[in-house]
Amino acid sequence: MLNKLKEISEQARQAINSVQTIQQIRDLQTRFLGRKSFLANASQSIASLAPEQRPLAGKTLNSVKKEIFSLLEEKQKSLQKQEQGIDISLPGFPVEIAGSHPLTNVINEICRVFEDLGFEVQQGSEIETEKYNFQALNIPLDHPSRDAFDTFYLQLPADRTQGRYLLRSHTSPSQIRIMEKRKPPLAVVVPGKVYRPDNVDASHSFMFHQIEGFAVDREINFSHLKGVLVEFGRRVFSADTRLRFRPHFFPFTEPSAEVDISCLLCSGKGCPVCKHSGWLEILGCGMIHPNVLRAVKINPAKFQGFAFGMGVERIAMLKYGISDIRLFFSNHKKFLRQFYEV
């Protein structure tokens, strides 16, 4: 009896191993566990055994039944899984094609406009030192304007000549990096991320994007700056966009100006977006300060330059009527999808 049970267990194991369809599983179920199977009728045979042999035979019978049952069940599950995997009649999963981020689109568009105007596009470094983020830009250590550029400092030993390491708080240090390596004539724009420890709200983020631009050559003057920026405004916003230059202060430019464009929504008539002024501030600019040129060993008696810096998020928000800067960084597909370019 025990030998017979062992034999059946072995047969079942082999048969189940080579099963390939659900139907075969059902056949084996009938063959090994069905009403007419040896196992189903084995209880009666046990009754005819000598009393001392019955307990072991009963136990073995049960464990063989259990084993075959669970092997069949396991096989059935794995076959079902396989069949699902290759069921070509099931509807497929739609493949979502992603698009570029709205900020990428705006950066590309602005850079293309400046490229058309003769500028080249370069990258800067997000990790800077005090020398490049401040000193070389005419912002000495004790200069009060440094407070305006609240800064994330890195927990690294300071460089002996360049000071502490930091996350750049504006893209202006790339002016220094480029002028240090190359001689005029230069006309460059540098897009990139900048960092400031601001509390996040609808109009602030601790990381945002700027585009820096500058040109250096002999006899560059403020009207070149105006010409370039007016053209930029017309091409990036609309052909009838007007610009307003307001005197301002930046340590790295002299004279300096803040530039407003005529409000995109009301064309200057006054509305809630421009706070009824008709104007929207979009960038800072000016003639590169002689001290900045000196810092990169360019002689200010021979060369002049203009520079400007703009916030990309602000421009994108104005251009598309977006009221909360956090939307750019929250990765909501419904928001992002609106800006996919085909």
Residues that bind ligand DAH (CB under 6 A): 170, 172, 212, 250, 253, 284-286, 307-309
Query: What's the min distance (Å) between Cβ of 191 and ligand DAH?
Result: 13
DSSP-derived letter for residue 322 is: -
CB under 8 Å to 185, separation ≥6 — which residues?
A: 215, 216, 217, 218
Query: What's the min distance (Å) between Cβ of 171 and ligand DAH?
Result: 7
Closer to ligand DAH at the Cβ: 172 or 304?
172
Query: What's the min distance (Å) between Cβ of 170 and ligand DAH?
Result: 3
Find, among 339, 336, 282, the residue nearest to 312 by Cα. Answer: 282
- Segment (H or E) for 288: strand 279-288
Residue nearest to ligand DAH (CB): 309
Closer to ligand DAH at the Cβ: 205 or 253?
253
Closer to ligand DAH at the Cβ: 64 or 285?
285
Cβ-contact 133, 151 below 8 angstroms: yes
Find, among 107, 110, 115, 105, the residue nearest to 233 by Cα. Answer: 110
Q: Are strands 243-250 and 253-262 parallel, antiparallel or unpaired?
A: antiparallel
Closer to ligand DAH at the Cβ: 247 or 272?
247
Cβ-contact 225, 285 below 8 angstroms: yes
Tokens 């002016």 sit at which residue? Answer: 175
Amino acid at 255: P
Query: What's the min distance (Å) between Cβ of 117 and ligand DAH?
Result: 16
Cβ-contact 212, 194 below 8 angstroms: no
Closer to ligand DAH at the Cβ: 71 or 130?
130
Closer to ligand DAH at the Cβ: 251 or 268?
251
Nearest-angstrom CA–CA distance, 179 and 285: 17
